[in-house]
Amino acid sequence: MAKALIAVDLQNDFYEEGALAVPNASEINEKVNELLESDKYKVIVASQDWHPASHLSFASNHNQEPFTPYSDDQGLGPVLWPDHCVELTEGAEFNSEIKTKHFDYILRKGKAEAVDSYSAFQDNDGTDLGLAGLLRSLEIEEVDIVGLAFDYCVKYTALDSAKNGFETNVILAGTNAVNPDQVDQIKADLKDVGVKFK
């Protein structure tokens, strides 16, 4: 069975010193690099949050404080974020410890000013980002997912992977959450749609 690895948002702004830090993010790097260097994947796709400075998910563009509750019908929310992963900035670059030479494709998301993009498969408004089509063209049947953060972009990528019919696994040693207290509920939600954990 042909397998793919999706490495979600392994970017400086989601690491410990970043603008939207995931606690203990760097702890996942060893496992991520082990998978990147393995020969078990037909293709490795890395997603990269890539926002314009004017992105409407940023609290600064609403004259609000970060983490202010906010939502609309265009795919923003549930809160306004600190400025993060702004295109062409150091914060948007991949963490230097990650062995990026093994990436076959880089999929940039969150580029539309008025729509956020948690999943690597689609924007929050449902706009297809082309990942499912790419994987099908390569006859991929099974997907492993690592990256940041488990409770946002990894979760939504896994949900959409399963929805698109791929056998989907989240590699727990290769992800960490912003909110560790939500991990058990998210795992239950993912199991409900057939996602497995390794």
Which residues does the annotation mark as catalytic? 9, 109, 153
- Residue 144, token pair as written in the block: 């492993």
List the one residue out of 51, 128, 49, 38 whose CA is nearest residue 95: 49
- Residue 76, token pair as written in the block: 């923003």
CA distance to 59, 67, 99, 104, 190, per residue, from 158 (Å)? 27, 24, 22, 19, 7
36 CB-near residues (< 8 Å, 6+ apart): 5, 7, 44, 98, 99, 102, 103
**Which residue is associated with the tokens 């488990």?**
150
Q: Is the separation of the CB atoms in 60 and 54 below 8 Å?
A: no
